[in-house]
Amino acid sequence: MARLLLSRLFQVLLVMMAVTAVAFIIFRYVGDPVNIMSREDASVAEKAELRAALGLDAPVIVQFGRFVGRVAQGDLGNSFRNQRPVAGLIAERLPATLELVLVATLLALLVGIPLGVFCALRPHGWLSRSIQAVSLVGISTPTFVTGIVLILIFSVWLKWLPSFGRGDVVRLGWWTTGFLTTSGLRSLVLPSITLALFQVTLIMRLVRAEMLDVLSSDYIRYARARGLPSGYIHRKLALKNALMPVITVTGLQIGALIAFAIVTETVFQWPGMGLLFIQAVSFVDLPVMAAYLLFVGVMFVTINMLVDVVYAIVDPRLRTAGQ
């Protein structure tokens, strides 16, 4: 297990170096920051001074070294747009996105897994066929359409739920949470459903396919041949086997959700990372864009590592192979 973790950590470092390099290249090649930052009528001498102040006159490799050093210390520079440290901006926006993604993931698992199992156990029933057909709609409708339709129905027509923002939040140290207030929870409903819809479909279809596969396997036939009750076979034995790939996919999808959240956050004006990024793009706010890139890289890499660890805990074959 320790060896598995070490080998993973090594790979994580490699990947993060590559991502940092890409972030650095963004700084260097997407426009000249000196031109962006200085006044339009600045003289050549003023520009050179600024360049030296920013450390942009050093050789590329030195600049990269400094960049890596700064990033490692958590210094992601200042936002061009509102002249505040990017790290602080991200810390402010992070809870909103993570809470949204967490709720969406739980929703996807809690709805997707039972539906998938149901469809696998009754592959020819009319109900599971209709669920399958409806799920096709879920997988092919773009997120922004779902979001807008939900807003139209539940906020505009029925006036049940708020259509934008996070509602009231409670501060817990640097973290802000919407879980503790009614308005915060009500605000979570529509965006999390919007974000989860695609995942529900994906997980349902995955569980269904895996479950069908497992149910026809020898060890399940053997469990039947031993006269074990079918409820026990399905819920305790087969489900565990069928959920193995769900771990991988859920892990990857959490990463993707954070990225997909851009669209949902824009539709619902959700004050999270995605909205921050979209605003940064429209203002060519390079430090924020680079930081977002680094952040998504860190998230993906960490989640993947966690998935590997969880997998090793659940699957005994991997546990001993690592020893």
Partner 1 sequence: MTVAPALEIKGLRVEYPREDGSVLVAVDDVSLSIAPGEIHAVVGESGAGKTTVANALIGLIEKPGRVTGGTMRIGGALLDPVTGRGDGVQLGRDIGVIFQDPMTSLNPLFTIESQLTETMRFHLGLGRMEARARALELLNAVGIPEPERRLTSFPHQLSGGQRQRVVIAAALSCNPKLLVADEPTTALDVSIQAQILDLIRNLARERGLGVMLVTHNMGVVAETAQSVTVMLRGRAVEQGPVAEVLGSPQHVYTRGLLAAVPRFDCRLARFAVVSDAGDGKAGAARRTIAARKPAALSDRSGPLLSVEGLTVDYRSRGWLPGSRGHGMRAVDDVSFSIARGEVLGLVGESGCGKTTVASVIAGLVKPTAGRVLYDGQPIAGKGASRLTRASSRQALQMIFQDPYASLNPRMRVGTILAEPVLFYRLAANKAEALDDAGLLLEAVGLERAQAERFPFAFSGGQRQRISIARALGARPRLLICDEPTSSLDVSVQAQLLNLIKDLSEATGLTLLLISHDLAVVRQMCDRVAVMQKGRIVEMNDSESLFSAPSHAYTHELLSLVPRIDRIAANT
Among 229, 281, 283, 313, binds partner 1 (CB under 8 A): 229
Site membership for partner 1, residue 41 (CB under 8 A): no
Q: Which tokens hold the place of 150?
A: 């939900």
| CB of residue 83 to partner 1, shortest distance in Å | 43
Site membership for partner 1, residue 231 (CB under 8 A): no
What are the phi and psi torsion angles at 171 (to 5°)? -90, 130
CA-based radius of gyration for the chain: 24
Site membership for partner 1, residue 218 (CB under 8 A): yes
Scanning 33-41, 93-101, 218-226, 276-284 for contacts with partner 1 by CB under 8 A, the matching segment is 218-226
Among 174, 175, 219, 283, binds partner 1 (CB under 8 A): 219
For 279-289, b/e burial (b = at least 16 CB within 10 A) is ebeeeebbbbb
Angle, vertex CA 94, rays to CA 88 and CA 96, nearest 5: 130
Q: Which tokens hold the place of 144?
A: 């922004």
Print the binding letters for residues 5-24 with partner 1: x by CB under 8 A, - otherwise. -xx--xx-------------
Site membership for partner 1, residue 224 (CB under 8 A): yes
Q: How many residues bind partner 1 (CB under 8 A)?
A: 29
Site membership for partner 1, residue 39 (CB under 8 A): no
Scanning 76-84, 183-191, 225-233, 282-290 for contacts with partner 1 by CB under 8 A, the matching segment is 225-233
Among 70, 84, 129, 221, binds partner 1 (CB under 8 A): 221
State how far the Cα of 149 lies from the Cα of 158, in Å rounded to an integer: 12
Is residue 181 within 8 Å of residue 169, measured between CB atoms? yes
Q: Which tokens hold the place of 181?
A: 């207030």
| CB of residue 309 to partner 1, shortest distance in Å | 15
Taking CA atoms, 79 is separated from 107, 266, 289, in Å, by 35, 20, 9
**CB closer to partner 1, 15 vs 284:** 15
What is the distance, to the nearest Å, from the Cα of residue 162 to the centroid of all Cα atoms in its chain?
24
Tell which positions 234-293 bind partner 1, by CB under 8 A.
Answer: 237, 240-241, 244
Is residue 107 within 8 Å of residue 190, measured between CB atoms? no
Scanning 19-27, 114-122, 173-181, 221-229 for contacts with partner 1 by CB under 8 A, the matching segment is 221-229
Q: What is the dihedral of CA 226, 115, 256, 106, to 10 degrees?
A: -90
Is residue 162 within 8 Å of residue 186, measured between CB atoms? yes
| CB of residue 95 to partner 1, shortest distance in Å | 36
Tell which positions 44-63 bind partner 1, by CB under 8 A.
Answer: none
Among 228, 249, 296, 298, binds partner 1 (CB under 8 A): 228
DSSP letters, 156-188, are IIS--S-SSS--S-EEETTEEESTTSHHHHHHH
Q: Could you list the residues that contact partner 1 (CB under 8 A)?
A: 3-4, 6-7, 10-11, 217-229, 232, 237, 240-241, 244, 314-317, 320
